[in-house]
Amino acid sequence: MFPIELSGVAFRPQGRNVLDGLDLRLDGEGISIVLGPNGVGKTVLLRMIAGLLPVREGRLAWGEASRPDAAIAMVFQQPMILRSSVLDNAALGMKPLRLARGERLRRARDMLERVGLADRAADSARLLSGGERQRLALARAWAVRPRLLLLDEPTANLDPSAVDAVERIIRGIRTDGCKVLMTTHNLGQATRLADDIVFLADGRVQEHAPAQQFFARPRSAAARRFIQAELPWRIRFDE
């Protein structure tokens, strides 16, 4: 499935240039974080890579394949929660894998353990808080044992301890050998988690660099402006 390669990808809803000739290459290791202002097309990019949004202009290839397979899982900002137990929700994503029911439930329990929700397995999932729902959604996606996990703002609206819990889970997923591609508006989180940063502006990838390098020496003026605007304090970059 790797490298995932996009070349000249465009997305022009109603003639508006959202993505405008985007090039990107993603290898199968580590955590890549997509940064960029609201509306720049981060979610669109993740949905395209998940195969949920067709690419009408340009090219997107998953290794040798021209379409994505079951080894991709995506977690949305507002995770879908079914009106059933936490355990059933955690097992939901494994349906297409055709595992025996016992094996599905065993894996689901194991994942709930890992995300710290084992004691809530029998509760109605609708009763979970926002942070607990995010952890449940991660357990559900992780249970599928994907090769690529796409996470769209997995910690938006969470308090600091919930953010910390979700970040631990994401690190665990990475340690399991799963490639993670995620978006966030939390630059602290990007510095804590990212191996590399994909910075989007004006419809394209302006920079794709190791995280340390991106934050210490952003190459483009757009990236410097973006970092300064997102931080609660001012920093100066040496030009």
Ligand X SMILES: Nc1ncnc2c1ncn2[C@@H]1O[C@H](COP(=O)(O)OP(=O)(O)OP(=O)(O)O)[C@@H](O)[C@H]1O
Task: Round to whole Å and give the CA distance between 84 and 107.
Answer: 18
Which stretches does DSSP call E strand in the chain? 4-11, 19-26, 31-35, 57-62, 72-75, 148-152, 179-183, 196-201, 204-210
5-34 binders of ligand X (CB under 6 A): 13, 18
Place of tokens 């097992």: 91
x/- letters, 21..60, toward Mg ion (CB under 5 A): ---------------------xx-----------------
Residue 93 interacting entry, from ligand X, Mg ion, none, C-beta within 5 to 8 Å by type:
none
Beta bridge partners of 25: 5
Q: Which of 2, 20, 43, 51 binds ligand X (CB under 6 A)?
A: 43
Q: Which of 15, 39, 160, 232 binds ligand X (CB under 6 A)?
A: 39
- Residue number, 94 or 205, with CB nearest to Mg ion: 205
Residue 125 interacting entry, from ligand X, Mg ion, none, C-beta within 5 to 8 Å by type:
none
Cα angle 185-72-115, degrees, rounded to a multiple of 5: 65
Q: Which of 1, 32, 41, 173 binds ligand X (CB under 6 A)?
A: 41
- Residue number, 39 or 96, with CB nearest to ligand X: 39
Q: What is the H or E stretch that residue 207 is in?
A: strand 204-210
- Residue number, 34 or 144, with CB nearest to ligand X: 34
Residue 41 interacting entry, from Mg ion, ligand X, none, C-beta within 5 to 8 Å by type:
ligand X
Position with the least CB separation from Mg ion: 43
Task: Round to whole Å and give the CA distance between 107 and 77.
Answer: 24
* Token pair for 5: 């390669």
Task: Round to whole Å and give the CA distance between 230 and 239.
Answer: 19
Q: Which of 6, 33, 40, 197 binds ligand X (CB under 6 A)?
A: 40
User: What's the burial of 131, exposed, middle or buried (CB within 10 Å: 0-12/13-18/19+)?
Assistant: middle
Choose one: 35-43, 135-143, 164-172, 201-209; the region binding ligand X (CB under 6 A): 35-43
